[in-house]
Structure 1
Amino acid sequence: MLAAALVLGATPAQATPADPLHLPAPTGRHHVGVTTLHLVDPARADPWPDAAGSPRELMVSVFYPATAVRDHPVAPHLSPGTAAGFGAVAPFYLPGIPATGVDWAATRTHAHTDAPARAVRAPVVLYSPGLADPRSLGTVVAEELASRGAVVVTVDHPGETSAVEFPGGRVRTIALPGDPRTSPALYRSLVDTRLADTRFVLDQVESLARGHNPDAEGHPLPPGLDRALDVRHLSIHGQGLGGTTATEALHEDPRLDAAVNLDGYLDYPPDTAGTPGDLLPAARDGVTKPLLLVGSEGFRDERLDRSWSALLAHNGPATRTQVDGAAHWGLTDLGALVPQLQARGLVTAADRERLVGNLPPRWAVTLLRGHIVDFLARWAGC
């Protein structure tokens, strides 16, 4: 259970070496580059117990169309510290994920570290992951969008993420003071913190486009990156709580043109069991800019239907679709990785179905990419 992982200082599980898991390659015509930024917001205190009183700090990855990639190695899917922390926490909240036998640090992306950027203004897309998930679980879609000409910024939300590695190897593990699924107050704090994180990241993207370097350590930026950002076209997508974040950010932040919500509730947990929770403002008021609600068949329940239907009842520019045969984490990189774990005997067929569904991984990846790419191409200039 997730509640078992809501502790300080989780001890990383020791993984048995194995052949690396593989991510599907992007299909666009551009090479993909990636850089990592450490962002610090001196105007905002971190809300979680393990960092109380410290300025809020975030880690983001920026995926972008690259030019020359020779001599720029491909980046790991998870950094060593993040991989260790994720390996320790994942078995508590991802049903059936093995505690040993997976080298999470061995998987490589298709993005080349700090390669020169294609200095042509391109739309920018933010990604917010699900509760406890690292930002890296949005890599498959980020690389696809970047290979097609967009810039994608994936965001960690430290303190509620399984593990976040900062410069110098410092790792911050999940440290929530309770279970947000049963605490409306904590859930509200999570949403509020994520929305503030999103606003701050958008501010830093705009600063970067003006030629400033927002990295806290002044890490040199890839050549041309500042000229690769078109901040007139900003959008956001997210999965789970990240989908909730994306929808509410679209409602609140006028800079965003469009959003995609993957399996994200649009209400708060109820104060009293058996009663409906309060709707988020986006669901209560509706949205005025394009929104795509993408649900997995395995995650659909009365709460999701109620909150999504409330938003759709406003007859705004929002649409809903469902990925049949998929489960909740099938809308992340795990849709490609978990079937590989099953093939190695590390995940049972039943656990695979609960985690990602029973779609062949190629279909799952194609459907996920297709929904997001097509929608953002139409409404966000991607």
Structure 2
Amino acid sequence: MSIEHATPAVNPIKRFRQRARGLVVLLVVAAAASMCTAAAASPGTPYLPAPTGPHPVGTEFLHLTDKARQDPWVPRAGARELMVSLWYPAKSRGERRAPYMTPKESELLLKGHGITSVPPDSFSRTKTNAYTDVRPTGGRHPLVVLSPGMAWLRSSLTALAEELASRGYVVAGIDHTYENLATTFPDGRVTTCATCNGEVEDFGRRVVESRARDVSFVLDELIGKRGALIDPSRIAMAGMSLGGASVGETMLTDPRVRAGADLDGTMFKPLPESGLSRPFLFFTQNADDATLNRDWRRLTGWKRWFKVTGAVHASFADYDLLTQQLGLDFGSKLAGTRSAEIIRPYVAAFFDRHLRDRPRPLLDRPSPRYPEVTFCTPEQQACH
């Protein structure tokens, strides 16, 4: 369901397809086995773990159009259109919880990976923790931009977004149109993945550069239209998989982004040999990605590399915990909601340190609360 870690010479779409086929077999076998067990209970309604911060969470959906830029993947579509979810700390709880995704988006997401062993609307039933009918708290807040993995929807990072918003951040999750299996626009249009056919030449570099432009445009729009809510001097970015691969490029081309976190994303476009001096975090399932080892040495500022034992690629998004709740198996050793319980505090600590100047010992030494997390230091050829 995502881009496999690969060396730069490997076509990411080819690896994406290979990984998808392997996961389909695994998921179908797991579902069949569970159906054959008479005592197996039917999965309940999937849910995201409650955020731990002091604030209730509000959310709204934004439709943004970059009239100065033609869509890079479907030129006949005209200007580049994006859908963005905005999460924010709210004054109070509301009555209407936000949908996780639409039933059609759920259907296309599952169909796109050949998964037929659960109802097509399964993901759209997910219970979120954000409300659509609440007002934000006063004052300007630091902003974190989130970019999802290849073919995955912006909603795949909702658990992280809700956590950050509950801690006082504004969070913008971007659907990079035609790079995922479904994006729904306010007029009812649903676009699908035009880049998943493997026909885009030099795709890794091109998509990283395109996403950097998407993020800069979204920043322009948010600062211009939500200026009372956002502190433009405190902006950071996190991305998962291909979204993570895009963080470095965004920081190189947009100095407003002060810190970046790559969640299990191969660096398809190398950082320059001159380096990147702003704070950067690698958070991965293993430590043998040649592109990360190369770019680790080109990070000249504050940096950390954490490896999560027992994680799979989906552990860095919502789909690890949600598929477990649906009775499907990605092979993760992080049971229940453990993936979110690990990812959220480390990412939040990283942004607290670099956008709020708050000391966070979690980033400086191993924690007994998170024995799955090890510190990687490639210079010593080991994670410890």
1:27 aligns with 2:55: no
How far apart, in 1, do the equivalents of 2:312 and 2:90 lie?
33
Secondary structure of 2:150's counterpart equals coil
**Partner letter of residue 324 of structure 1?**
T
Determine the structure 1 residue equivalent to 2:146: 127
1:126-164 deviation digits (Å, cap 9, x = unpaired): 000000000000000000000011100000001011100
Secondary structure of 2:68's counterpart equals strand
Determine the structure 1 residue equivalent to 2:65: 40
How far apart, in 1, do the equivalents of 2:143 and 2:348 lie?
13
How far has the Cα of 1:228 moved from its partner?
2.3
Contact preservation (8 Å) 2:44, 2:326: no
Determine the structure 2 residue equivalent to 1:372: 347
How far apart, in 2, do the equivalents of 1:175 and 1:158 lie?
9
Contact preservation (8 Å) 1:69, 1:116: no
Contact preservation (8 Å) 1:209, 1:231: no
Alpha-carbon distance change, 84 to 177 in structure 1, aligned in 2, over 3 angstroms: closer
Residue among 320, 325, 328 paired with 2:305 = 320
1:38-117 correspondence runs (5 A): 38-49=63-74, 52-71=76-95, 73-91=96-114, 97-98=115-116, 100-101=118-119, 103-117=122-136
Determine the structure 2 residue equivalent to 1:167: 186
Alpha-carbon distance change, 318 to 200 in structure 1, aligned in 2, over 3 angstroms: same
- 5+ residue gaps, structure 2, are 2-15, 21-41, 359-384
Contact preservation (8 Å) 1:65, 1:147: yes
Secondary structure of 2:198's counterpart equals coil
1:287 aligns with 2:276: yes
Q: Aligned Cα RMSD in Å?
A: 2.4
Contact preservation (8 Å) 2:176, 2:211: yes
Determine the structure 1 residue equivalent to 2:218: 201
1:190-239 deviation digits (Å, cap 9, x = unpaired): 112111101101111111234xxxxxxxxxxxxxxxx2211110000010
1:190 aligns with 2:207: yes
How far apart, in 1, do the equivalents of 2:197 and 2:106 lie?
24
How far apart, in 1, do the equivalents of 2:180 and 2:19 lie?
10
Greater CA drift, 357-366 or 140-149: 357-366
How far has the Cα of 1:332 moved from its partner?
0.4
Alpha-carbon distance change, 200 to 82 in structure 1, aligned in 2, over 3 angstroms: same
How far apart, in 2, do the equivalents of 1:18 and 1:310 lie?
43
Alpha-carbon distance change, 28 to 113 in structure 1, aligned in 2, over 3 angstroms: same
How far apart, in 1, do the equivalents of 2:77 and 2:119 lie?
38
Alpha-carbon distance change, 137 to 47 in structure 1, aligned in 2, over 3 angstroms: same
How far has the Cα of 1:327 moved from its partner?
0.7
Determine the structure 1 residue equivalent to 2:13: none
TM-score after normalising by structure 2: 0.78
Contact preservation (8 Å) 1:123, 1:231: yes
1:238-253 correspondence runs (5 A): 238-253=239-254
Contact preservation (8 Å) 2:145, 2:237: yes
Greater CA drift, 308-317 or 161-170: 308-317
How far has the Cα of 1:170 moved from its partner?
1.2
How far apart, in 2, do the equivalents of 1:133 and 1:323 lie?
21
Determine the structure 2 residue equivalent to 1:220: none
Residue among 320, 330, 333 paired with 1:335 = 320
Alpha-carbon distance change, 184 to 262 in structure 1, aligned in 2, over 3 angstroms: farther
Contact preservation (8 Å) 2:94, 2:132: no
1:72-111 deviation digits (Å, cap 9, x = unpaired): x0011112332232232133xxxxx545435222112110
How far apart, in 1, do the equivalents of 2:292 and 2:53 lie?
32
How far apart, in 1, do the equivalents of 2:248 and 2:163 lie?
22
1:351-362 correspondence runs (5 A): 351-353=329-331, 357-362=332-337
How high is the sequence identity, in percent, across the aligned residues?
33
How far apart, in 1, do the equivalents of 2:141 and 2:355 lie?
10
How far apart, in 1, do the equivalents of 2:256 and 2:203 lie?
27
- 5+ residue gaps, structure 1, are 7-16, 92-96, 211-226, 268-278
Secondary structure of 2:113's counterpart equals helix
1:334-355 deviation digits (Å, cap 9, x = unpaired): 122122123xxxx2xxx421xx
Contact preservation (8 Å) 2:179, 2:196: no
Alpha-carbon distance change, 44 to 53 in structure 1, aligned in 2, over 3 angstroms: same
**Partner letter of residue 288 of structure 1?**
S
Alpha-carbon distance change, 3 to 229 in structure 1, aligned in 2, over 3 angstroms: same
TM-score after normalising by structure 1: 0.78
**Partner letter of residue 59 of structure 1?**
M
Aligned residues: 320
**Partner letter of residue 302 of structure 2?**
P
**Partner letter of residue 59 of structure 2?**
V
How far apart, in 2, do the equivalents of 1:5 and 1:40 lie?
33
**Partner letter of residue 69 of structure 2?**
R
How far apart, in 2, do the equivalents of 1:85 and 1:34 lie?
24
**Partner letter of residue 149 of structure 1?**
G
How far apart, in 2, do the equivalents of 1:146 and 1:45 lie?
32
